[in-house]
Amino acid sequence: KSDSDTYSCDIGDAQSRAKLTVQEAPVLFKQELQNEEAKEGKQVRLTCELSKPGTPVKWMKGDTVLHASEKYELKQHGTVAELIIRDVKSVDA
């Protein structure tokens, strides 16, 4: 997308110009979330992989947006996004 601009070829007495518009490719899941089972009190790691690094990710439980806390750790490295849920309880299902 950052390559979108007007480009020109200059030969001194004349110029030729063209406008380049780059359309961003849609972000897709290369690897989707997988169902997990865990024993109460343990830690669970949910992982997904995206087609484009640095894509903003929003983690949700039902309709509630999750934020980093003692309970939830949110990580993102390149195309991989992870949610770590600590000390799982039955209400976390």
Domains parsed from the chain with CATH numbers:
29-85 (2.60.40.10)
At 87, the amino acid letter reads: D
Which residue(s) pair with 18 in the sheet?
7
Predicted confidence at residue 68, as pLDDT, reads 96
Question: How far apart, in whole angstroms, are the C-alpha atoms of residue 28 and residue 7?
Answer: 31
Dump pLDDT digits (tens) for 26-60: 999 999 999 999 999 999 999 999 999 989 999 99
Q: What number of other Cβ atoms are within 10 A of residue 83's Cβ?
A: 20
Dump pLDDT digits (tens) for 56-72: 999 999 999 999 999 99
